[in-house]
Structure 1
Amino acid sequence: MKKLSFAFMSLMVALSFTFSAAPMEADAAGTKVKTFANCKEINKVYAGGIARSSKATNKGGKSKYKPFVSQALYDANKKSDRDKDNIACER
């Protein structure tokens, strides 16, 4: 009886880890990032532009707004980063 209850409890623990981890993987893989046509469209949504990481600094000088940090969003709109400082459409 002890072996049976131990096996049942082990199975329940294993299943709980499986089901709790599944939604996080689906959200990460299923997230769709938006690609903008130009900087005007980006700045309507993200006034400071889009930074690839929080460590990215503006080469062009002082910015008026703080950029939104998202690696996936930056990679989708990398064409808009003309000065190649890892911040697209900064202002």
Structure 2
Amino acid sequence: MIVKRIAALFVSSTLLLGLSAVSPSSTDAAAVSYKNCTELNKAYQGGAAKDAKVKNKGGKTKYKPYISAALYNANSTLDRDKDGIACER
């Protein structure tokens, strides 16, 4: 009986600690400013889009862009054609 209570307490406390350790917006926390498109494309092959609604103005692309407003804003100077996708390829 006591072992069951201890086990239940251990499981519930582990779950509470595990849930509190998860960050709610881990994608926006990684908004790094890259010095050029080569560096950005090493981390994100398709570039960075400010949202899912943007359309590519350039030619045909090989990869889908990573969608993150914070990442795009940190690297908006790398968006040469001003279509909302930085360093698309």
How does the TM-score come out when normalised to structure 1? 0.66
Partner of 2:80: 82
Q: Deviations over 1:32-57 (max 9, x none)?
A: 52100000000001000000000111
Percent identity, aligned pairs only?
53
**Consecutive unaligned residues in structure 1, runs of 5 or more:** 1-22
> Do structure 1's residue 54 and structure 2's residue 49 form an aligned pair?
no
SS at match of 2:70: helix
CA contact (8 A) 2:30 2:71 kept: no
> TM-score, normalised on structure 2?
0.67
Cα root mean square deviation, aligned: 2.4
What letter corresponds to residue 78 of structure 1 in structure 2? S
In structure 2, runs of 5+ residues without a counterpart are 1-20
Name the one with the larger helix percent. Answer: 1
- Alpha-carbon shift at residue 61 of structure 1 (Å): 2.3
Q: Which has the larger radius of gyration?
A: 1
What secondary structure, in the 3-state scheme, does the structure 2 residue paired with 1:59 have? coil
